[in-house]
Chains A and B, each alone.
Chain A
Amino acid sequence: MESLQIPPVDLRLLTPLLIVVGWAGALLLIDVFFVPDGRKKITGYLAIAGLAVAGLAGIPLWNLSGSTFSGMLVLDRYSLALTWIFLIAGALSIAVALDYLPRHAIEQGEYYPLIMFAVGGMILMAQSADLITLFLGIELLSITLYILTGFAYPRVASEEAGMKYLVLGAFAAGFFVYGIALIFGATGATSLAGIAAYLGRQPFAPQEETLFLAGASLVLIGFSFKIALVPFHMWTPDVYEGSPTPVAAFMSVGTKGAALAALLRVTLALEEAQTFWLPILAVLAAATMILGNLGALGQSNLKRMLAYSSIGHAGYILLGIMVAAERGAEAFLFYILAYTLTNLGAFGVLIALEQRGEAAWSIDDFAGLYQRRPLLAVAMALFMFSLAGVPPTAGFMGKFFIFTAAYAGGLGWLVLIGVLTSAIAAYYYLRVVVKMFMQEPVREVRPELTRGLNTEILIAGVATLILGLLPTPIVLLVERSLVALGG
């Protein structure tokens, strides 16, 4: 038998991914053998160090681009920028968990490597140029999150949330795989380039592409579930509420960001079939913006409110994806960054108020926060303004870029819905601010601020302000990061 010819592999292109996954694996062992019980924070610090090293290792790759592993993974500035965003999200999620876990008596050293594995899955999704690796990235991320969701033993809500997420997630994974199989049947390829070549060989005629369209629809359903687009969003509030708050924070920015980033790449590859997916995404985006924000209106539980708000924001981000070929991709990257920092900050404040055995998620617990903890209240107000899209915050600039890009791309009616729903959203975000600054406390809630939490809220707050006040350097960086993204 002839010897196997392994195609050339360029591991340099995968440096951040390899560091994250390799360090996570090593950390599992280090945690078991060298870190004593009760001092598991060390594992957390080591995990943050690993993520930082992976981020630094990405810097020399800025001028590098290419694909490896038979074209399954690509490295371009788009994926590199996303990698950095994901690393930041992972590191901040670990920072808020450092004290949260022991305070709730659910500390296990495995938490930190698991977050790292999830970040690895996200990077894999951002770098995937093949539906198979994309699926594996989604699964690596999802399976990790199923575990982390059920982490808060013995809280029953956490168990329930983990189970719900697992069952629905498995279902969505089924849709996704089935879709890939049908697309492969129709086009003979799983690589995005191969599918694009298939679609480009002749003008797109929907009536002749039934098999392909069936597959693409199923893949779209899989994506919609992960991004929590209406009507595939039902699981989100329950899962966010049940899971430990740092995990909810990570999920709200991580899963969403990675799945949206992958969706952007897929839609760029399917540009020829735009007449098919553009109307579908438009309806999904409209429904998501409207129902996500309306759902948040009635919530008095802040964790659920943030869950609905994250659904609404996915709708806005979807606008950027729909016009990605024009200037949408830049707006998309900026929005993801702004949303990641803001949302992690808001969850950080939530964690500061949360005590063992009793949750302080009710909006009444925020009443009079300004008198007790002025700085914390100011930070929370900043995050709420940013989520609502009030200048001069990151959220405002993000919405501004998304809406202008979508308007220029001819999606005027969606922009109108976006602006109207933002106005609705302002009501429930500002309600929190009003409570904090203008009302007397209803009951005694003692916020516990620790070093990790302080740092996280500070970083998120400062970044939210800087992105809002001086967006130009970031915008330039983002613009440059998209030079190579030809689809």
Chain B
Amino acid sequence: MDVILFAITAAVALIGAIAMLVARNAVHSALFLLLNFAAIAVLFLLLQSPFLFAIQLTVYAGAIMVLFLFVVMLLGAERVEDTPDRIAWQRPLALGLGAALVAVAVVSVLRGAWEVPPGGEAAATFGDPAQLGALLFTNYLLPFQVTGIILLVAVVGVAVLNQRGRTTSTVKRAPSGD
């Protein structure tokens, strides 16, 4: 049962990824990426990580992709013009690196990387939202708060960088880096 479910979701994820690459319209690309994210979320569920599933859906599919679509439509950048690649060595390099990644993945699968190492069995409560929440409010209380301050600074930054260009409308930058 698991294998069938996995095969279906994996196929959907792959199709989404490939379709995103070949789509000529940026909006279509974004929507295909959304499909890919949703499929990956289901994969997380199959791996018994309900929390990652929810995060993947709400944060990536929900927030980030919506923002992405919004920006693409706002800028009217749906259409890709057929301009020749400015950096000629970029495409071969990307292909080469991609091939290397696939090779590494194949080799590690062939060498048995999927077998659980001794003692590596995850605890039943691993990735449990309640536990994560408890950790955030106990051991990681301080990082949690500091993250809040960082977000505050980022929001202030958006306001500052936009405000100064009040007369023009050229400012399109988000100040958070990662």
Contacts and interface: CB of A to CB of B under 8 A. Distances in A.
Interface stretch (B33-41, B58-66, B73-81, B132-140): B132-140
Give the size category of A's interface with B. 35 or more
Given A139-B178, A144-B153, A108 B142 contact: no
Contact of B164 (A106, A137, A142): A106
A5 B138 contact: yes
Contacts of A154: 165, 168
B154 to A, nearest CB: 6
A422 B138 CA distance: 50
B153 A7 contact: no
A26 to B, nearest CB: 12
Interface residues of B, number: 30
A476 interface: no
Given A6-B141, A150-B173, A140 B164 contact: no
Interface string A166-178: 1001100110010
A67 to B, nearest CB: 11
A405 to B, nearest CB: 33
Contact of B178 (A9, A70, A173): A173
A133 B177 CA distance: 17
A133 B143 contact: yes
Interface in B65-103: none
B159 interface: yes
A146 B141 contact: no
B88 to A, nearest CB: 22
B176 interface: yes
Interface string A132-152: 110011011011101100110
A150 B165 CA distance: 12
Nearest to B158: A147
Contacts of B130: 1
Given A124-B146, A132-B143, A153-B165, A147 B153 contact: yes
Contacts of A136: 143, 146-147, 150
Interface in B109-156: 130, 134, 137-143, 146-147, 149-150, 152-154, 156
Contacts of B147: 136
A124 B150 CA distance: 12
B177 A25 contact: no
B177 A140 contact: no
A166 B177 contact: yes
Contact of B137 (A6, A114, A124, A151): A6
A72 interface: yes
A184 to B, nearest CB: 13
B157 interface: yes
A174 B177 CA distance: 9
B138 A142 contact: no
Given A136-B147, A173-B178, A143 B154 contact: yes
B164 A173 contact: no
A114 B156 contact: yes
Nearest to B135: A4
A114 B147 CA distance: 16
A21 B152 CA distance: 11
B4 interface: no
A28 interface: yes
Contact of A173 (B140, B154, B159, B177): B177
Contact of A153 (B153, B164, B176, B177): B164
Contacts of B137: 4, 6
Contacts of B146: 124, 133, 136-137, 140
B155 to A, nearest CB: 10
A445 interface: no
A73 interface: yes
A177 B143 CA distance: 14
Contact of A4 (B134, B140, B154, B159): B134
A87 to B, nearest CB: 18
A130 B50 CA distance: 28
A278 interface: no
A110 interface: yes
Interface in A100-121: 106, 108, 110, 113-114, 117, 120
A69 B146 CA distance: 12
B149 A21 contact: yes
Shortest Cβ-Cβ A-B pairs, 9 listed: A170-B177, A147-B157, A69-B142, A153-B164, A136-B146, A173-B178, A70-B139, A110-B160, A170-B178
Interface of B: 130, 134, 137-143, 146-147, 149-150, 152-154, 156-157, 159-161, 163-165, 168, 173, 175-178
